[in-house]
Structure formats: C-alpha cells, structure tokens
Amino acid sequence: MLGYVTIGTNNIEQARAFYGALLAELGMKELFDNERLYFFGDNPQGPFVVVGGPYDKQAASVGNGMMVALKCADNAKIDAMHAKALELGATDEGAPGERVPNMFYGAYIRDLDGNKICFYKMG
C-alpha cells in the first residue's frame, strides 16, 4: 500500500497553489505541513501527495522515468483533471484517451516544475 509520494519543487508557494487547486478536484486538501513539505489528502491517515523542497536543500529536479499517477473515478474526471491542470499552467504530455483498449484510460501533464503526472482509470 502506498503511503505517500513526494513531488519536488523549486517554488513552494506556486506548487502549493497549483496542487491545492488541482487536487481539490479529487476531494483532497492540504492537511498539514512541516514548513518544508506540504501534505495533501482526503484523510489524515493517508495516503498523501506531498509537495516540497528536497531535504538536502539542493535544487529539485525532474526524475527521468519518474511519474506520479493519480487514480480517477471515470473518464470524465480524467478529462476534467487534464483540463484543470492545463488551466493552472501545466503543459500537455498526452491528451486524455484510451491507452489499452477496455483496460486503461489516461491523460498526462507536466506540472509547473516539469514533474510528470498521470490521471488514470483501470478497467
């Protein structure tokens, strides 16, 4: 079971605003922070999407091959999440659509720091 995923940023206020608005579409909100990491979820017990700067205080960078996938209830929610992310300044990395017939529907974006995010549904 996944506990949390951390997404690095070099502009915490911008990232908090972006993920606050985007994750609200999935019923998540900022639950708590430690002044470096900001935890978003729908339950204080997790799982969480965490946004913040690296522990070593070096610049955050995008991991090649690293992607966060956020599960959505249906295709309409995936379409809406993709559109909301683009509205908030994300870039398109793959329009919503069926990737594996009758099995996987997804959409991909790059957040304001260039991190790759997928919105998806299986089945």
Q: Give the pair of three-digit tokens for residue 20.
A: 């606050």
**Residue 63's pLDDT is what?**
87
* Residue (of 26, 83, 84, 18) closest to 51 by Cα position: 18
Task: Report strand pairing: 4-8 vs 29-33.
Answer: unpaired
Q: What is the pLDDT along the chain (123 residues), one digit of tens a residue?
A: 789 999 999 999 999 999 999 999 999 999 999 999 999 999 999 999 999 999 999 999 998 889 999 999 999 999 999 999 999 999 999 999 999 989 999 999 999 999 999 999 998
**Residue 64's pLDDT is what?**
85
Cα(45)–Cα(35) distance, integer angstroms:
19
Cα(113)–Cα(110) distance, integer angstroms:
7
Cα(85)–Cα(88) distance, integer angstroms:
5
**Residue 2's pLDDT is what?**
86
Please tell me whether residue 12 adopts helix, strand or coil conformation.
helix
| Domains parsed from the chain with CATH numbers | 4-53+66-122 (3.10.180.10)
The DSSP string of 69-95 is: EEE-SSHHHHHHHHHHHHHTT-EEEEE
Q: What is the pTM of this model?
A: 0.92
Are 82 and 109 within 8 A, CB to CB? yes
Q: Write the Ramachandran bin of 114: left for phi over 0, alpha for psi from -120 to 50, otherwise beta.
A: left
